[in-house]
Structure 1
Amino acid sequence: MSQQTTDSPLSPNELSQSTNINKSIEQNSPNYRLLFEYKKLSDLMIRGLYVIPSFNSIHEWHCVLFIRNRIYRSAIIRFNVVIPDDFPESCPSIKFLTPIFHPLIGPEGEIDLSHQFPDWSAEKYMIAHVLCYIKSIFHNPDKYDFPPLNTDAHNLMKNNPDSFQKRVSEYVEDSIKNVYDNPQDNAICFSKEWKDKNQLENAKKQIFKKDVGLIDQLSELYSKSKLKDLFK
């Protein structure tokens, strides 16, 4: 499991170095960039964020964000990163699984990333930038003056902050109360207790094996390439 403890993605210089990937290697290894980005995400350590690729596809990452301060404090927010087949040329999309009262999040858990990343390109952005943006909208919901997907939340935030805070708090409480309602086939599951200790150990091994498998694949590509400077 990749648990993150920093708040900033790569600087422009670091990003330009990190994304200077040999095109022939990318063509021969379609998942190279994703493996590289997952490894880099582990290095970045975004506070309160847990990320594990789906057991079924590396093109879907399961995430849980623990909000530790400000208006959404104590919220436990599940969401998926859905990565298109033509990534990194196209931007990933985000699907929130936890209902949350936020101006930029629609009733089906959708969020429009095109406003924050209108000029998405493989050379300029990584998935880490999207994840840092997702965290930021909960810490500073009034910072982004984008067209709202939840007009009620937007209007309350602008015109009646107390009512907005009350509605947010209700959703935060629900996110805590429903934390053990694990989505089907999700790579991140919470449990009050494990009555079967063998089941616990097997689950831990499955998660560990998945992470190690990804990093092993990345390391193999890394060792065979001339891209070692990417990880310095």
Structure 2
Amino acid sequence: MATHAAAKRLWKEYKDISNPRTGLKQVHVEIEDDNIFLWNVALMVIDKDADYNGAYLKGQLKFPSNYPFSPPGFKFTPPIYHPNVYNDGRLCISILHESGNDQNDEPDNETWSPAQSVESVLLSIISLLEDPNISSPANVDAAIAFKKHREEYRKRISVEVARSQANIPKGFVMPNAEDLKQNLKDEEERQDDEDWWEDNYYEAEDDYDDDEDDIEYDEEDQGLESDE
């Protein structure tokens, strides 16, 4: 039962993320062999000030059968050079850690909960690519380079970016900052439309209930009339 519920939710999240109008422009997702629990993703860094700007980074999300009660796992394929990425490509980020784990020493509001979504995970990963967390590094050497040898760090990242761009599908156009602004505007309009329909639906229901309350039936009189 848990697997069926998890699959149903994941298909919905996949469709939302892949929506050409309101989905995530900086993310490309493919389901591996029709297995909804295994996503191949490409993350695009659009922030001009980020060291990984222009990158097309591939990774894989694996979901447990009891999703969303347990978080997915994520790793970059191939691994990348980043303070928060282990040498095998696994990512160290709070949102992928289960809450209530004393060993993590992380606030519960930053760790995984069923209220989180695939979208929030992907956006958190992109945010970490743009702004590494060197206070909790998975790759200590990369964290030291980021903090003390920025030019050397940037040169190495530029190699990573160039390597990643070789994976951009033929004919694919990388999104830019304007695309993201339009994406946000479309999402806000969609949310406004949903709110409008929801508000009007409940207002119509209230009006209907009020109309019913206004109707009074005098059963005794009706009975007398029918006797005549």
Sort the TM-score into its range (normalised by shorter chain). Answer: 0.5 to 0.7
With over 3 angstroms needed to count, the CA separation of the structure-2 counterparts of 1:191 and 1:39, relative to structure 1, is closer
Pairing of 1:57-206 with structure 2 (within 5 A): 57-68=35-46, 69=48, 70-114=50-94, 118=99, 119-122=111-114, 124-141=115-132, 144-177=133-166, 179=167, 190=169
With over 3 angstroms needed to count, the CA separation of the structure-2 counterparts of 1:159 and 1:29, relative to structure 1, is closer
> So what's the TM-score if we normalise by structure 1?
0.59
Residues 186-219 of structure 1: CA deviation (Å, up to 9, x unaligned): xxxx358xxxxxxxxxxxxxxxxxxxxxxxxxxx
The Cα of 1:29 is off from its aligned counterpart by: 4.3
Residue pair 2:6, 2:66 contacting (<8 A) in 1 also: no
The Cα of 1:90 is off from its aligned counterpart by: 0.4
The Cα of 1:167 is off from its aligned counterpart by: 1.3
- 3-state SS, counterpart of residue 36 of structure 2: coil
Residue correspondences, number: 158
Gaps of 5+ in 1: 1-23, 181-189, 193-228
**1:39 corresponds to:** 15
* Amino acid paired to 1:151: V
Separation in structure 1 between the aligned mates of residue 76 and residue 17 of structure 2, nearest angstrom:
20
**2:104 corresponds to:** none
* Amino acid paired to 1:176: Q
Report which of the two structures shows the higher radius of gyration computed on alpha carbons.
2
Relative to structure 2, which stretch is displaced further, 131-140 or 36-45?
36-45
Separation in structure 2 between the aligned mates of residue 132 and residue 97 of structure 1, nearest angstrom:
18
RMSD of aligned residue pairs (Cα, Å): 2.8
Residue pair 2:43, 2:56 contacting (<8 A) in 1 also: yes
> So what's the TM-score if we normalise by structure 2?
0.60
Residue identity over aligned pairs, in percent, reads 26
Separation in structure 1 between the aligned mates of residue 136 and residue 62 of structure 2, nearest angstrom:
22
With over 3 angstroms needed to count, the CA separation of the structure-2 counterparts of 1:52 and 1:115, relative to structure 1, is closer
* Amino acid paired to 1:128: E
